[in-house]
Every structure is written in C-alpha cells, then in structure tokens.
Amino acid sequence: MMRSAPLSRAAFTTRKPPRAGRPAWKQAEEYKRWLRKLRCAACEADRTDANPIVAAHVDHAGGKGVATKVADRFCIPLCDECHRRQHRMGWPAFERGLPYADAIALASRYWSEWPGRVAWEREQAAAADARVSA
C-alpha cells in the first residue's frame, strides 16, 4: 500500500481575496502632494523635517465605509503634531479650533483653491464617459 504525501498546512487555510483598492474618483495624489507644501490649517506651522505636513482625511465628510477612507478631496493640511492631536481628541472637538470651526467646509475651500482641480475633474469625467461607452 502506497501512502500519499502529507498535505501542507497551506492546504487547510483560506486565502482572502486581494483588495480591490480605492476607486479612482476617491484618489487625488497630486492634491495631497500640494497640501503637504502648505502650512498647517490648525496652528499655521510651516513644515519641517521634525514636524512634516500631512494630508489628513476628514473622516466624517461622508463616503467612508468599513476599512475605507473618504475621498482625498476631503483632506486638510495638518502638521504631524496637530494630526496626532486630532486623533487623540476626535474630529468634533478638534475642528472647533479650525478656521470656520468646520473641517468639511475647510476641506472644500482647499479643494476649490487647488490649481490642479479642474484638470483632475476633467480626467475623472472623461474616464467615467469611457466606462459608460464601453
């Protein structure tokens, strides 16, 4: 009688399917790069090597689901210190100290002032038209 080779442990584990990634309409990498060159929206600090500016997502702007981020258009520039403070305090308390006392309104203002916005929106519209035509 011939014995079969033992099965590896991997044969008994299930693999998670690969993540789909964020949809293109939620991604604006150039916008986030532009934000990182600005001053902190909370304390107006310039970026330094010790305290860089990050593009902080305003989570309560809508469109956030389980394990997903809101669209990049709802980012504001925060220095690393203020970003950590925002995480400790939570958005409701943190945004009271921001201009307009409203992080979503502030994010909308930055988005409207981004020099690359019109071209980005045109690209997104063209991509959507191409998907519909296909």
Q: Which residues pair with 82 in a beta bridge?
A: none
Minimal CA–CA distance to 27: which of 68, 83, 77, 67? 68
CA 82/CA 106 separation, integer angstroms = 15
Q: Are 111 and 73 in contact (CB under 8 A)?
A: yes
> Which tens digits make up the pLDDT trace of 93-134?
999 999 889 999 999 999 999 999 999 999 999 988 888 876
pLDDT band at 23 (very low <50, low <70, confident <90, very high): confident
Q: Residue 110, class by beta-carbon neighbours within 10 Å (0-12 exposed, 13-18 middle, 19+ buried)?
A: buried
> What pLDDT digit, counting tens, does each position of 45-75 carry?
999 999 999 999 998 887 666 667 899 999 9
Round to whole Å and give the CA distance between 27 and 103. Answer: 19
Q: What is the mean pLDDT of the segment spanning 70-92?
A: 95
